[in-house]
Amino acid sequence: MITNQAVNQAIDYILLHIEDDLSLEIVAEHCHFSKYYFSRIFKEQTGESVYGFIKRVRLQQSAFRLKTEKRRPITEISADYGYSSSNYSSAFKLYYHMTPVFFRRKSYGLSMTHPFFHHETWKAESFEESNRKITVKEVPDYHVLYERHFGSYEGLSRQWKRFICKYQKYITEGTLFLEKTYDDPAVTKEELCLSDLCMSVRENCSLENTAVIQGGTCAVYDFKGSMKHIYAAYQTLFLVWLPRTGYVLDGSRSLFDVYHTVDGDRGYMELDICVPVKK
């Protein structure tokens, strides 16, 4: 768990500006620390240097876009993250052990092994099926109490139990539980997947670990079903639904889930998958 709020602030800043010119000095200055002190606490909290984190996130986000923006030339996507064509190919192959061209070709399929339930395969819905479940609408901002974790999304149910027990006294009848996931497990190693467990609180909550989840225009997928099918719903949104619409992912905001029903014994869930979009 990332407990240092300056490090959380830095992660938010890096993710928001990942396509910009970033450095340790720029991030440390944003957090009002010397680069030497900040470099140490960032490494202690995340296990990575600031430079290593930036480099990894750029490669992972570019891989996600290779997968979801199949009509865009690879050179354009690599340039978005500051790479020349040759440098990008070398860096990508070093990290993923395959070329960007092969990675994109490999991701064309709409049915493949599930990243968590390895004995299962996931299969995307048709556009018509998904379109009946997805509504583009304005979503409010949410003021939340949160905890941030690195680790497999498969283990989030255990983290949720601990989180709810820890903050039980802040839960009211109107409390909403939300979850922000930042990575696609198909392109990010399980142990490096980033997530925020969140619960709505009043704006005057005195705890330090509070934030605002920005709403706005979102494609909202009304999910009802087994937790093992949530991954397929996400993939359907990105690989089937978005390419057929006039919308694109709005990278200035994070996607998030709003939970309505969770039955852990049956593995059944009802939630809104909120993906920020723009024309």
Class of domain 5-106: mainly alpha
Over residues 130-135, the mean pLDDT reads 98
- H-assigned helices in 31-172: 35-46, 50-68, 74-80, 85-96, 100-106, 127-131, 156-166
Q: In this structure, are strands 248-249 and 134-139 parallel, antiparallel, or unpaired?
A: unpaired
Residue 111's pLDDT is: 66
User: pTM for this one?
Assistant: 0.93
* The CATH classification of domain 134-278, taken from the options 3.40.50.20, 3.40.640.10, 2.60.40.420, 3.20.80.10: 3.20.80.10
Judge whether residue 143 has pLDDT over 70: yes
- Report d(CA 237, CA 181) in Å as an integer: 15
259: β partners: 177, 271
Over residues 109-116, the mean pLDDT reads 73
**Local confidence band at 113 (pLDDT 50, 70, 90 cut-offs):** confident
Joined tokens for residue 218: 């979102």
How many residues make up the chain in this entry? 279
pLDDT digits (tens, 9 = 90+) for 220-261: 999 999 988 999 999 999 999 999 999 999 989 999 999 999
Judge whether residue 118 has pLDDT over 80: no
Judge whether residue 180 has pLDDT over 70: yes
Backbone angles phi, psi at 198, to 5 degrees: -135, 150
Question: Which of helix, strand or coil describes residue 61?
Answer: helix
Does the fold of domain 134-278 match that of domain 5-106? Answer: no
Backbone angles phi, psi at 199, to 5 degrees: -140, 140
